Chains A and B, each alone.
Chain A
């Protein structure tokens, strides 16, 4: 364990030499802006990684600022010396993970491995969770929970998150293995659809709408059987080996058939899929396969923009777009979502003052670091309120939930609607999840 901990830390520290400590990353960092110390900045964290590797601080001390990093990688985007912050972060988290495993209580260790290893990657369990949530949402239980006096028993955190969740997957619905034909006269592309674990269970409707839109622009869509979670949550928790397992399984199942693209509608998952090659640097065979796989991975907005989705219906919304960090900083998809929104007739597009600032969702950061996450969200919400937008568009399930939390927190649900880009586009071309 100790040996593994040091291997990861050493590798991370080697990367830190690319940092010239210019500080250009500071204004891009959501935790620096809200926590207001150099310690909670990219430059600060990079320095502390080196300090830990040189033995000036313990891995335990290092874990505090590292755990508070959202991993949004906005710093990487503005870095003038190509410091691979994301890679460093994963390595450090690996080190911290090994370190903490030595001290973690058996119960906690059991729970974590249960979630990362057996729940998220397991379609049937995720489906059951989705169904459970669906019953809860549709049966009226949710309404009762949010009524007085029960509401007061619910911790604030859960009240807010619960309000944000509305579209769970209905029971007995199987999407895996299904094929959806193109519904356009134009020559079709053949694409595989990557469903994602949380996306499929919790925002099932958005996945269905995504497929519908792809059909509309002339794609034959295959929901490849046996696909699993992308592994991002595992990797960001320092579980590199688990992430590798997920990656291998996905690469394998998507190799079974020839596709033009592998499409997803979750900015964070897409970013992970696009970096699968980084997991296999010491494994030439899998590296090759991962490279082949990642070349085909693309965000849905890119395909819809490329194949010029026809938008028939005018919508008179004032729209602000909150891009997913990993979509812009890792996948580098920036123009397409904006172009699609702006192509809808009647839409007034308002650019946020600081769109590239993370909303504070950070995968499951908002669950673990609720207070810090809410401070970041507050900064985002004040930007959003200034735009006077009545629709907020996002491109990732985590951001979608976080923005819904923001709206609930500010009591703005009567004035502002939060949607995934796919939902807005579906409305503008009158597509429904039931098929057109």
Chain B
């Protein structure tokens, strides 16, 4: 239902600048998607630049019971930024005026629209690091990362977004401006609302400022590449490294389908008969990691690697990681649609999960490639398909369900880092019993009595199921 003209007028008055309130059809259609599936057109988009604007608009929406969807740069993979019930999209991407690095406190204070990679770049200038590095970090906003609790390759050693958020300013669904946490590393005063907001997928409020923890930047890195002729063996190699007393900063994985895709796209000299390649990065003191690299090198050989390669100069290292970067464009040439899943299993179950994925691929006769983070059990099975082919998409829906089942069977979870959003909500009852889910719903109810804040996400309604057509 389109907004009443007087509501639009009120919003324009709150924002003060007409060009930051979008109501033209072409504009509205441009805020109906993100990097996941699904397309829902909002009734209005407002591009906010300060907390008062957000608070006033949310108050208005709460009064009039208009749905609100917060949005950063919409690079999310679970549909968090999709306005599935229409209403107002609050776009924070232009709000990027604050990016302060406080070196002595080792923290950063940022506006919600600041680009993730810019925070790490600013920290780097004073020898610090903001570790979370989702592959979209050059595009994604920090508020989006916090809302979805994004991960990234470095998550293996350094953890994910939630491990770096010390405090937040949030506008609640009733329009109140609140603060959670603070600028200290230790803080046990009251309930930890910070952690509640992180990963709440925009359903509990709008993040308007964040205080982030920074850490000393490692001085050096060394990377290794190991090639295996058996995918399950590669899984054991990961487990062996992780139990050896060495914690690499990244362990990334490519299966045979990705190897072949890369070789036919841009030949990089990978053996096309190999079943898996591991990329391992060690970081830390130059002398320490040289030692560790030798140890990992031998460990890979012992676990049956066909070939192990060590990159010590930055040129060699860059070339090695380029192979990994080429996977996405290489597999995309094949078929236009890519469903990227992020079901995650305990580390010890990586080999079993790989086995199950291979079975799923054969059983449903789908194009499945597995690549991505491996060391943290967050393998990314990607299904390549063509969304215009309805029959194929039906198979894909079934395969996705089978992947979730496999992950849960092995003691894992539906989502490691993308979030539930719209894509995975129908599977929630597979992971949680009635009361566990009920407690989450009660929290939502307490925060958002009128259910205006990003409605329709996370919690399934009866009859909900995954639809990719």
Chain A contact residues, CB within 8 Å of chain B:
17-18, 20-24, 26-27, 36-39, 41, 44, 47-48, 51, 56-57, 61-62, 64-65, 79-82
Asked if residues A27 and B115 are in contact (CB atoms below 8 Å), the reply is: yes
Chain B contact residues, CB within 8 Å of chain A:
22, 25-27, 29-35, 47, 73-75, 94, 115, 136, 138-139, 328-329, 332-333, 336-338, 386-388
Please measure, in the bound complex, the distance between the C-alpha atom of A21 and the C-alpha atom of B22, giving whole angstroms: 21
Closest Cβ neighbor of A25 among chain B residues: B139
Please measure, in the bound complex, the distance between the C-alpha atom of A32 and the C-alpha atom of B187, giving whole angstroms: 40
Asked if residues B388 and A81 are in contact (CB atoms below 8 Å), the reply is: no
Please measure, in the bound complex, the distance between the C-alpha atom of A38 and the C-alpha atom of B34, giving whole angstroms: 11
Asked if residues B25 and A57 are in contact (CB atoms below 8 Å), the reply is: yes
Asked if residues A82 and B138 are in contact (CB atoms below 8 Å), the reply is: no
Please measure, in the bound complex, the distance between the C-alpha atom of A57 and the C-alpha atom of B30, giving whole angstroms: 12
Please measure, in the bound complex, the distance between the C-alpha atom of A44 and the C-alpha atom of B136, giving whole angstroms: 17
With A18-B332, A20-B338, A82-B333: A36-B29 Cβ-Cβ less than 8 Å: no
With A36-B94, A37-B27, A61-B26: A80-B33 Cβ-Cβ less than 8 Å: no
Please measure, in the bound complex, the distance between the C-alpha atom of A51 and the C-alpha atom of B138, giving whole angstroms: 27
Other-chain contact of B35, A23, A39, A61 (Cβ < 8 Å): A23
Leading 9 A-B pairs by shortest Cβ distance: A81-B332, A38-B30, A44-B30, A39-B30, A80-B328, A17-B336, A23-B75, A22-B35, A23-B139
With A23-B74, A61-B26: A47-B388 Cβ-Cβ less than 8 Å: no
Closest Cβ neighbor of B73 among chain A residues: A23
Please measure, in the bound complex, the distance between the C-alpha atom of A26 and the C-alpha atom of B144, giving whole angstroms: 15
With A39-B26, A61-B25: A27-B138 Cβ-Cβ less than 8 Å: yes
Other-chain contact of B328, A26, A64, A81 (Cβ < 8 Å): A81
- Note all chain A residues with C-beta closer than 8 A to B328: 80-81
Asked if residues A24 and B136 are in contact (CB atoms below 8 Å), the reply is: yes
Further contacts, 15 of them, CB under 8 A, given A17-B336, A47-B32, A64-B26: A17-B388, A20-B332, A20-B336, A21-B35, A23-B74, A23-B75, A26-B73, A37-B47, A38-B31, A41-B30, A61-B26, A62-B26, A80-B332, A82-B329, A82-B332
**How many A-B contacts at CB < 8 Å in the complex?**
81
Other-chain contact of A57, B29, B332, B336, B337 (Cβ < 8 Å): B29
Please measure, in the bound complex, the distance between the C-alpha atom of A39 and the C-alpha atom of B93, giving whole angstroms: 14
- Note all chain A residues with C-beta closer than 8 A to B74: 21, 23, 38
- By secondary structure, the A interface counts as loop
Asked if residues B29 and A47 are in contact (CB atoms below 8 Å), the reply is: yes
Please measure, in the bound complex, the distance between the C-alpha atom of A178 and the C-alpha atom of B185, giving whole angstroms: 75
**Closest-CB distance, B43 to chain A (whole angstroms):** 15
Please measure, in the bound complex, the distance between the C-alpha atom of A20 and the C-alpha atom of B37, giving whole angstroms: 9
Residue from A22, A36, A79 whose CB has the most chain B CB atoms within 10 Å: A22
- Note all chain B residues with C-beta closer than 8 A to A20: 35, 332, 336-338
Asked if residues A65 and B136 are in contact (CB atoms below 8 Å), the reply is: no
**Closest-CB distance, A39 to chain B (whole angstroms):** 4
14 sample A-B contacts, Cβ–Cβ < 8 Å, listed by A number: A17-B337, A20-B336, A20-B338, A23-B73, A23-B139, A24-B139, A27-B138, A36-B47, A39-B26, A48-B29, A61-B26, A80-B329, A81-B329, A82-B332
Closest Cβ neighbor of B338 among chain A residues: A20
- Note all chain A residues with C-beta closer than 8 A to B22: 37, 39
Closest Cβ neighbor of A16 among chain B residues: B336
Asked if residues B332 and A17 are in contact (CB atoms below 8 Å), the reply is: no
- Note all chain A residues with C-beta closer than 8 A to B35: 20-23
Please measure, in the bound complex, the distance between the C-alpha atom of A79 and the C-alpha atom of B333, giving whole angstroms: 12
Please measure, in the bound complex, the distance between the C-alpha atom of A36 and the C-alpha atom of B92, giving whole angstroms: 11
Please measure, in the bound complex, the distance between the C-alpha atom of A37 and the C-alpha atom of B45, giving whole angstroms: 10
Please measure, in the bound complex, the distance between the C-alpha atom of A61 and the C-alpha atom of B329, giving whole angstroms: 32
Asked if residues B27 and A23 are in contact (CB atoms below 8 Å), the reply is: no
Asked if residues B75 and A56 are in contact (CB atoms below 8 Å), the reply is: no
Other-chain contact of A21, B25, B33, B329, B333 (Cβ < 8 Å): B33
Asked if residues A57 and B26 are in contact (CB atoms below 8 Å), the reply is: yes
- Note all chain A residues with C-beta closer than 8 A to B33: 21, 47
- Note all chain B residues with C-beta closer than 8 A to A81: 328-329, 332, 336, 338
- Note all chain A residues with C-beta closer than 8 A to B47: 36-37
Asked if residues A56 and B136 are in contact (CB atoms below 8 Å), the reply is: no
- Note all chain A residues with C-beta closer than 8 A to B329: 79-82
**Closest-CB distance, B113 to chain A (whole angstroms):** 11
**Closest-CB distance, B64 to chain A (whole angstroms):** 25
Please measure, in the bound complex, the distance between the C-alpha atom of A61 and the C-alpha atom of B29, giving whole angstroms: 12
Please measure, in the bound complex, the distance between the C-alpha atom of A41 and the C-alpha atom of B332, giving whole angstroms: 21
- Note all chain A residues with C-beta closer than 8 A to B31: 38
